Structure 1
Amino acid sequence: MEKENQQQPLSLPEIWQTTSLRITDEFPSPPIVLRVDDSIIGTLGNFSASTGKAKSKKTFNICAIVASALSNGTVLNYRASLPESKRKIIYIDTEQSKFHCKRVLKRILALAEIPDNEHPENLKFHCLRRLTPQMRLSVIENAIYNTENLGLVVIDGIRDLAYDINSPSESTNLITKLMQWTDERQIHIHTVLHLNKGNDNTRGHLGTELNNKAETVLQITKDEFDKDISSVTAMFIRDRDFEPFAFRINENSLPELIEDYQPKKSEKKQTFDYREVSEEKHREALEQVFSIGESLSYSTLIERLKKCYSSVCCEFGNTKAKQLKQFLCNKRMIVQGMDKLYRYNPDFYY
């Protein structure tokens, strides 16, 4: 199969015509390929991500996602349903040795209940550790455009496709590649990016772009009281949110669902938790925040958050205001433009 964007390039008038949209046009809903319970995590033509701090067991979680796709069934709480013509899967690892990659592969097959004495035909597993970021990107693109019946691509992790994750241009170009690949090939891509060590922000400008464009961003977090347990929540999801779930690693080194998981409450003094504020209160406060202008600078936004949330629900200081700002950005309740100014997004899904 020849890669589509290596064919004769379209002229600007032709591109203009192909990007046209009319109210009388009809489009089918994108096929759903991955769910958690009844919440849609992934569809063909879009991409999603998993994020978490180092050693939070992100790769174990990814193994469950791939295993569900490989078996077209349910693993942990992930339920896959790839169309018959989209059953091929590509798994890309960018940082581990082949020895450790094989352990990941064996884990996927075990979770999918597939014997490991013969490699499954519909799974391609590649280790790109030794390549440069530019070469990794080219190799992945070539594979995506030359693999028939492709439905799912996993990139663990996307940071290694960029030289500088804080470069706005490089980050935008990389995320644009994900959107191009998923749209042109009608596949789903799931990728992995670390959180910062000191907070729950995805790393660099690349993380910001990923949050802004991904269909779903899952967060994997170690339990505060039991480091053998990791929970999975939706940092952002376009569909309705799902109930957080958790898994532990069993004696066979496989992730195992913990039924009826309830995180223990810390005995530390409880402070204002912006995640427990109702949608109505958030809307009321944010409408007040942006009543002075459509777009706000960072410093003005922080001061307005403190003032307006105080009048609606409760008071807090600068540190909590900065955490609240990041929460609102992750939920796309407020968005930051290329001009670095922040704007209210009233169409958010809480």
Structure 2
Amino acid sequence: MENKIGTGEKKKDMSKEDFAILWKTIHLKVTDTYDVPPEILWVNGSTIGTLGNFSASTGKAKSKKTFNISAIVAAALKNDEVLQYSACLPENKRKILYIDTEQSKYHCHKVMERICRLADIPTDKDNKDFIFIVLREYTPTMRKLIIDYMLKNMEDIGLVIIDGIRDLMYDINSPSESSELINLFMKWSGEYNLHIHTVLHLNKGDDNTRGHIGTELNNKAETVLQITKSSQDVNISEVKAMHIRDKDFEPFAFRINDDALPEVVKDYAFERSKQERGFSLTELTEQQHRQALEKAFGTLVIEGYTNVIKALKDGYASIGFTRGKNVLVNLNTFLKNKRMIVKEGRGYKYNPNFHY
């Protein structure tokens, strides 16, 4: 089978011999055994990164995304905690590959120095576990070829940073190119047993990730972090989970200190979102949610959006939480994001194993 990085697959009939080789990798048997993917990155105790997967950071321009990435890399270099990130890379996976696709070498060098300072390692000598490459001048196709070659020929890489994913493609709104690139991320992370963390901007007009590639990221990434400028203080950035497979973590905020390094803002009060202002989640305990959802769904799978909203209305009314349609629509979104209700077939059901 032929394949070229970034140019799509060439159509070719599959031979019996080719399929026999492929079959060994795609056939799953109940008698097979697999190790749990090693967890390597955490925020406040919640897992955001495992080997064999990929994650992302997103935010608007000037939200301090690169400062946040610097803290993640520094934690991985130290195998310790930096900002609110903790890392533990296995001994045979201690190398970190940082790929920048848009900044000049001067600005990349500043980022590299900052990471070393955060990790408490010298800035006057190179570190064998920290490889930084600059791909600004190359085409998207060439960038992917370079990354592919390095991953194939470098040993002991545990974490790869790609800042940013947009520069690995020609059209961020192309469904086929987006799907191909995400498949490449899954191939790289799985085949070389490493974790990839990438960066993508948010749309200027809303809080959605840019283009079709943003949709693919949200659907396939293990975690998507959102970095936002504080509405209370422009010098402060907030970090929240936009999507996360593990339990949600407590958001945190950071500022840039006098040493030009990110530091946690202690006792920072987060402004409640519109959704939270519409109905106060602080008034509802985990037990109240469980009681309402058991009443609304029981063990049933409820099909149809209108039926789900009606079930939520009746269930939450049973605990004294009576609200209008707009709040119930927001509640439905909240419950799905928290995986308190989950899709099954053509409908939704109550998931009692949620983390609140």
| Fold conserved between structures, TM > 0.5 | yes
Identity %: 53
Equivalent in 112, 116, 129 of residue 123 of structure 2: 116
TM-score, structure 2 as length reference:
0.80
Other structure's SS at 1:102 match: helix
User: Is residue 254 of structure 1 aligned with residue 261 of structure 2?
Assistant: yes
Residue matched to 1:298: none
Q: Is the CA contact (8 Å cut-off) linking 2:93 and 2:157 kept in structure 1?
A: yes
Letter of the 1:261 partner, please give it.
Y
Q: What is the distance in 2 between the residues matched to 1:284 and 1:135? A: 56
Change (3 A) 1:121 1:264: same
Letter of the 2:242 partner, please give it.
M
Q: What is the distance in 1 between the residues matched to 2:114 and 2:130? A: 13
Letter of the 2:128 partner, please give it.
E
Q: What is the distance in 2 between the residues matched to 1:127 and 1:285? A: 54
Change (3 A) 1:86 1:292: closer
Residue matched to 1:84: 91
- After superposition, residues 27-66 of structure 1 pair within 5 angstroms as 27-66=34-73
User: Is residue 208 of structure 1 aligned with residue 219 of structure 2?
Assistant: no
User: Is residue 155 of structure 1 aligned with residue 166 of structure 2?
Assistant: no
Shift of residue 60, structure 1, vs aligned partner:
0.4
Q: Is the CA contact (8 Å cut-off) linking 1:334 and 1:343 kept in structure 2?
A: no
TM-score, structure 1 as length reference:
0.81
Other structure's SS at 2:124 match: coil
Other structure's SS at 1:220 match: strand
Shift of residue 199, structure 1, vs aligned partner:
2.0
Letter of the 1:315 partner, please give it.
G
Residue matched to 1:291: 302
Equivalent in 230, 234, 252 of residue 223 of structure 1: 230
Q: What is the distance in 1 between the residues matched to 2:302 and 2:346? A: 13
User: Is residue 131 of structure 1 aligned with residue 138 of structure 2?
Assistant: yes
Shift of residue 13, structure 1, vs aligned partner:
2.4
Q: Is the CA contact (8 Å cut-off) linking 1:274 and 1:324 kept in structure 2?
A: no
Q: What is the distance in 2 between the residues matched to 1:286 and 1:99? A: 58
RMSD between aligned residues: 3.4
Change (3 A) 1:171 1:87: same
Q: What is the distance in 1 between the residues matched to 2:172 and 2:341? A: 22
Letter of the 2:34 partner, please give it.
F
Letter of the 1:134 partner, please give it.
T
Shift of residue 34, structure 1, vs aligned partner:
0.9
Shift of residue 14, structure 1, vs aligned partner:
2.2
Query: After superposition, what is the alpha-carbon deviation per residue over 1:127-162, rounded to whole angstroms, capped at 9, x for unaligned?
Result: 111111111111111111111111110001111111
Other structure's SS at 1:206 match: helix
- Matched positions, count: 329
Q: What is the distance in 2 between the residues matched to 1:304 and 1:128? A: 51
Structure 2, gaps ≥5 residues long: 6-14
Q: Is the CA contact (8 Å cut-off) linking 1:212 and 1:332 kept in structure 2?
A: no
- After superposition, residues 158-177 of structure 1 pair within 5 angstroms as 158-177=165-184
Residue matched to 1:100: 107
Q: Is the CA contact (8 Å cut-off) linking 1:334 and 1:342 kept in structure 2?
A: no
Change (3 A) 1:283 1:196: farther
Change (3 A) 1:285 1:156: farther
Shift of residue 344, structure 1, vs aligned partner:
4.2
Q: Is the CA contact (8 Å cut-off) linking 1:236 and 1:331 kept in structure 2?
A: no
Letter of the 2:324 partner, please give it.
E
Letter of the 1:91 partner, please give it.
Y
Q: Is the CA contact (8 Å cut-off) linking 2:203 and 2:209 kept in structure 1?
A: yes
Change (3 A) 1:28 1:130: same
Other structure's SS at 2:302 match: helix
Residue matched to 1:238: 245
Q: Is the CA contact (8 Å cut-off) linking 1:238 and 1:349 kept in structure 2?
A: no
Residue matched to 2:10: none
